[in-house]
A and B are shown apart, each in its own frame.
Chain A
Amino acid sequence: MGRLFWKFFLCILLAQVTATIGVGGVFWLRDQARQRATPVLDSGPPAAIALDAAAATLRHGGLPALRSLLPDMRRPQLFVLDAARHELLGRAVPAELMHAVERELRDGAQGGDSAVWRGARRLVGPDGAQYIAFVSRDFGRQIGRDAGRQDGLRDGTGPGTLTPGLGPGPGPRRRIGQSVVIGATVLASLLFAALLAWYFSRPIRALRSAFEAAAAGDLAPRFGPGAKGGDELVDLGRDFDRMSARLRALMDGQRRLLHDVSHELRSPLARMQAALGLAHQQPDKIGITLERIERESNRMDKLIGELLTLSRLEASPDVLRREQVDLVELVDGLVADARFEAGQAAGGTALRVDFDADDSVNVSGDPDLLWSALENVVRNAARHGAPGGVVAVSVRAVDGLAQVEVCDRGPGIAPEDLPAIFQPFFRSGTSRTGVDGHGLGLAIAQRVVQAHDGEIVVANRDGGGLQVTITLPATGR
């Protein structure tokens, strides 16, 4: 049970106690007010009996009998006024009581003769004198006795009134009952507070342990997709899982990249060392080995340059420099380079590079980045498409978009490898050996195109070969 649990627990308990005190207090105050406002006349059956008794006494015994009766009637307390509104025993009658009596009598006069239950009654003595008799409620003594009867009237909410079953029992027993009920209520309240606090703090504790595990490097999913629906805390757990999965993927990607980079850097190094060994062994062939070493160091330089470009693009995916670039001009230069290289390398079976373009297709972007992206794609096609003999490059403006298509008739890519083709250092199994390159070209091309809000799609062509389509938002001429 952490600190949070106790905070929840105390808050909930406090809320419950406050609510209980508030509701109880409201009812208590209302009860008090009602007691103060109710006609202080007693209109219940005992009062009616007392009034009947008073009436009979007056009729048969006359005024002296009534007068001797009055002191005996302590409970309920009976008052009788003569015509001059003097109490027979000379007791003081509060003004409120008088008002209530008069109101009662007035209502009775209007409401016919069914005045049996009324709290005040006109009595006529044997001598014809008029008297007014009424029963007063004596608060101090009667509230306790009335409690049992009044439970039905009140809503049973006040702290002392939760004992409807006990009835008007003797005082000590009722007090024990009340404390039992209060104790049970407090216990139940504690229990509910504890349950609620536990219910709230449990997922938070689970989250905390998950965070601790993540901080310690364990990014395994912890909440699972099993918790369907649920509240915000369950959502939070699911979000945490998603976050840790993403982090894990990123970290794995970085680790793989680092591994690949060291491997890729090691290959030219191994060749350089081998060349150095040969140079030591055969000093007469130093020229050839120096050439080899130079070639390898150039490769390493190129690889590091590509890696830097890639990491720069990943670090800041937005293009910093934006200029008007004519894609037709740019691709035309690239095609010329590719033709030149193809003519140099292939010898007899020259690779044909077809170029087909609109007059000019302008995009806004970083010319160096666009150049390297398109160069990578065109070179890739020229390299892998060499067996097919022809590479077709086209640049077109379509619906406000600049579209560059590079198609070759090479071996293409295995369908299962297509999604991975933009990963750094990915090389399709067949193209792994023999062909120069590190597998960074398409990764760079993709990031450049995405940085220009464009799209790059790679697909196998019908009849063999690969088609790379780059779409960029075009600008006006």
Chain B
Amino acid sequence: MNHVLLIDDDVELVGMFAEYLEQEGFSVTCMHNGEDGARAALTGGYAIAVLDVMMPGAGGIEALRQIRAGSRIPVLMLTARGDDADRILGLELGADDYVAKPCTPRELTARVRAILRRTQAAPENGPGVLLSVGKLTMLPEQRRATWDGQPLDLTSTEFNLLEVLARNAGRPVTKNDLSEQGLGRPLARFDRNIDVHLSSLRHKLGPLADGRSCLQTIYRQGYQLIKE
């Protein structure tokens, strides 16, 4: 399952990316506007969607919102370099990662691979492995998580990051480790990606008995999942 959906209004660019990805062994479908792209992504026939959030109007962001309303398909955003607003909005809306445009096709392909590797992680942990930290329970091979018995609705990146934190519960995990193990790439400078995902996770996980969040920021070190 390596069918990639490319959603971008730049026909020529998408054509070249498609050509490159096909050479790399992916099968590619291209869509040139947000509505068609969102509709295609929601069919469930794709492993990953690469979405340009800078399409005219609110096209890209709106498409992302539509996709997230009905699917947890991994979404890789193409954003403008230096445009933090779009990027953070996109991550908050549940995109898994971003690539700043202009980017080389090799970079894009590597990022697509990293996301697919994470989301399609083979159940090497063996069946029945269950991570449990306090009220949090995770089933990595089924990619399911519950908080206090209630199922959590997490994007694949959020799930990966939470899994890394749960495996290291009670110990701080550096942002670089989180990025490498959760996103499949080293932490870039000025990268707010991890922070945005963890802020979103904090909202989804309930508070502890004493009202604190179970995800603590350890100054200059990273994040820690509190073990009760």
Hey, which bits of chain A sit against chain B, CB under 8 A?
A: 262-263, 266-267, 269-278, 280-282, 292, 427, 429, 432-434
Q: Are A276 and B12 in contact (CB under 8 A)?
A: no
In the assembled complex, the Cα of A281 lies from the Cα of B19 at a distance in Å of 10
Q: Are A266 and B102 in contact (CB under 8 A)?
A: yes
* Least CB separation from B33: chain A residue: A433
* Least CB separation from B107: chain A residue: A277
| Most-contacted residue by chain B among A266, A269, A270, A276 (CB, 10 A) | A270
Out of B11, B13, B23, B81, which one reaches A281, CB within 8 Å? B23
A-B contact pairs, 28 of them (CB 8 A): A263-B54, A266-B80, A266-B102, A267-B10, A270-B101, A270-B102, A270-B103, A271-B16, A273-B103, A273-B105, A274-B13, A274-B16, A274-B17, A274-B104, A274-B105, A276-B104, A277-B104, A278-B19, A278-B20, A281-B20, A281-B106, A282-B23, A427-B56, A429-B56, A429-B57, A433-B9, A433-B11, A433-B32
Contacts of B16 in A (CB 8 A): 271, 274-275, 277-278, 292
Contacts of B17 in A (CB 8 A): 274
* Least CB separation from B9: chain A residue: A433
| Most-contacted residue by chain B among A275, A277, A281, A427 (CB, 10 A) | A277
Given contacts A274-B16, A433-B9, 6 further A-B contacts (CB under 8 A): A262-B80, A271-B12, A272-B102, A273-B104, A274-B20, A280-B106
Q: How far is the CB of B109 from chain A (nearest CB, A)?
A: 9
In the assembled complex, the Cα of A429 lies from the Cα of B10 at a distance in Å of 14
The size class of the interface chain B forms with chain A is 20 to 34
Contacts of A275 in B (CB 8 A): 16
* Least CB separation from B102: chain A residue: A270
Contacts of A281 in B (CB 8 A): 20, 23-24, 105-106
* Least CB separation from A272: chain B residue: B102
Q: Are B13 and A271 in contact (CB under 8 A)?
A: yes
Given A271-B12, A433-B11; A263-B80 close (CB under 8 Å) = yes
Tell me the B1-51 residues at the A interface (CB within 8 Å): 9-13, 16-17, 19-20, 23-24, 32-33
Given A263-B54, A433-B32; A277-B102 close (CB under 8 Å) = no
Contacts of A434 in B (CB 8 A): 11
In the assembled complex, the Cα of A269 lies from the Cα of B102 at a distance in Å of 6
* Least CB separation from A268: chain B residue: B102
Given A263-B80, A281-B20, A433-B33; A270-B13 close (CB under 8 Å) = yes
Contacts of A280 in B (CB 8 A): 106
* Least CB separation from B13: chain A residue: A271
| Most-contacted residue by chain A among B16, B23, B105, B106 (CB, 10 A) | B16
In the assembled complex, the Cα of A425 lies from the Cα of B54 at a distance in Å of 15
* Least CB separation from A285: chain B residue: B19
In the assembled complex, the Cα of A265 lies from the Cα of B80 at a distance in Å of 11
* Least CB separation from B81: chain A residue: A266
Q: How far is the CB of A275 from chain B (nearest CB, A)?
A: 6
Q: How far is the CB of B9 from chain A (nearest CB, A)?
A: 5
| Most-contacted residue by chain B among A266, A274, A292 (CB, 10 A) | A274
* Least CB separation from A280: chain B residue: B106
| Most-contacted residue by chain A among B13, B24, B54, B80 (CB, 10 A) | B13
The 5 residue pairs across chains A and B that have the minimum distance between CB atoms: A277-B105, A270-B102, A274-B16, A269-B102, A277-B104
Contacts of A292 in B (CB 8 A): 12, 16
Q: How far is the CB of A262 from chain B (nearest CB, A)?
A: 8
Contacts of B81 in A (CB 8 A): 266
Contacts of B101 in A (CB 8 A): 266, 270
* Least CB separation from B24: chain A residue: A281
In the assembled complex, the Cα of A134 lies from the Cα of B9 at a distance in Å of 120
Contacts of B20 in A (CB 8 A): 274, 277-278, 281
* Least CB separation from B23: chain A residue: A281
* Least CB separation from B52: chain A residue: A270
Q: How far is the CB of B68 from chain A (nearest CB, A)?
A: 24
* Least CB separation from B106: chain A residue: A277
Contacts of A266 in B (CB 8 A): 80-81, 101-102
